[in-house]
Structure 1
Amino acid sequence: MDTFSPEQREKILESIRTIPDFPKPGIQFKDITTLLNNPDAFKTLMEHLEERYRDRQIDYVAGIDARGFIFGSVLADRLGIGFVPVRKKGKLPSTTVAEKYALEYGFDEVEIHIDAFGDPNACRETPARVLLVDDLLATGGTASAAARLIDKVGADCVEACFILELGFLNGREKMEVPVYSVIEL
């Protein structure tokens, strides 16, 4: 079930509301809150992701602040593995590592706990295998920074998974890890 059937794809797409001119004129915002409150569509999506990643030897799921927390934590629970949040700067309480990324006007940063995937000073045979999850791949700035962070703390970001991808924004080109998008628009 690595790809959705046309009926499953339509079920997910119909459950996502489009808000015109948000947060600014010309933007067609994809609101996933309507997917979250549709139990049939949400279950279909999560069953698909669970099946896709069940046998991939993933050790952790990392979710990007904030909507990636929702999909990532549910998927981690279904896979029986740990969940790690990738947060906006200043939101994590312990020692962190940060990664900057470019915005239209300036920069922003995401952070992760330095020990998110275990003791960074411990000798490991192989690095922890991490799946990065978020709701939307647009320009790729935040997601590529998050993937670099995972590698920076000694883990291996094996793939980045998105519910939606806005292909016309070419965010996939910024990613240095394989990308899987459930639905590309």
Structure 2
Amino acid sequence: MHGPASSGWLLVALCAATGAYCLLRMRSSVEEQRRAAGGEALMGFGMAAMAVPAAAFTPPSWAWPAYAVVFGAAGLHALWAARTHVRHLHHLHHLVGAGAMVYMAMVMATSPGHGHGGSGIPPLTGILLLYFTAYVLATGARLVPVPAAAGTGGSARWGDRPELARACRLCMGVAMVAMLPAM
């Protein structure tokens, strides 16, 4: 990513911490948490790697197409999951997120030193910015503590808490809003 190094490192830390928490959620006893956590961990770590400031590390030329392949596969997985689990709209959000990662990787692969080239925000970037801004606002509004599930003694394991999962999704949405115009 191009832009100030301090904000890049903050994005790296935020996304890596989110990815690490999502890995812990993969050990959840709640099946739905486990299912979503793997894709979210991939997204968190992928965003962390992509947010490393260009002044600190310039990835080899093959890295951007590799990102595109990995997140393209993640997008196909999200599409398949959305087809089989129609009730779960978060699969469609994963599809949009994976598509945004593919898009950013391809932009960086075609012009690694210039991002968008300084000619304003392209329409697809603008659409993605609008989507992720709306997602952040909606997720933030829903970010209130949820009562613990029955049978947990009034205290759910911290990896099973839905509000923490929403907070992670909110963090990744904010990071996406920061990363898109910084390409």
Q: Which bracket does the TM-score occupy, shorter chain normalised?
A: under 0.3
Q: TM-score by structure 2 length? A: 0.27
